[in-house]
Amino acid sequence: MYYAGQPGRLTQDRDRLGGNPFASALVEVLKSGPVTLEDFTARLSAANARRSGGWQQMQFPKKLPYWKMDASAPGKRVALVLINADYSKTDGVYSLPGAAFDAQRVPEALTAAGFETTLVLDVNAEAAREKLAEFAKLSEGAEASVIYVGGHGVQHKRIVYWMMGDYPEQNSKWLGTHAISLDEIGRAGHAREVNLVLYASCRDDPFSGK
């Protein structure tokens, strides 16, 4: 799991390029050409911090397998981009124009980097889980998989959740039906060599005590 920010912290919806700084960093690093996973991680972390003005400090695994991100290398590579930007149905939650912009540029960057990419934009939990199940089967025949997650998110009782656009109200009781945990999302990656989850969303807890 790669987290754009630290526990308890918000992430930015828009930087000077128009989207989440983590997405800007990802697009930048993917364009840099073939790199090992270790180099990719170091560059992504540095670019994320730089583009957020130091606000977003990436959290990532300390031990990484050797893998080279090379669009010309043999083997299938698949990516799933999960983004919710429209939260007009959620009481007291603002929509995310930056995430909507990322829904355009992140799939384009992953495709250019050699990934067969699927975009899932502004869906409910049921539809998202259907896409995750499809991706799980697809990734079984791949060498590497990437899942990018953008939109509103929370970290409640140490569990990180991706929030659906139809989340009913500011209460944790809806997490089971109108959000998906990052652990569940991560279980959709079944590629043989590398399975990455890139989480661009917040990790604060607006449901503390609820």
Residue 91: per-residue pLDDT: 83
DSSP assignments along the chain, one per residue: -EESS-TT----S--TTSS-HHHHHHHHHHTT--EEHHHHHHHHHHHHHHHTTT----B--SS----EE-TTSSS-EEEEEEE----TTSTT----HHHHHHHHHHHHHHHHTT-EEEEEES--HHHHHHHHHHHHHHHTT-SEEEEEEES-EEEETTEEEEEPTT--SS-GGGHHHHEEEHHHHHTT---SSEEEEEE-S----TTTT-
pTM of the model: 0.97
Residue 209: per-residue pLDDT: 65
Q: Which ranges of the chain have pLDDT less than 70?
A: 209-210
For 79-137, what is each residue's pLDDT tens digit?
A: 999 999 999 988 889 999 999 999 999 999 999 999 999 999 999 999 999 999 999 99
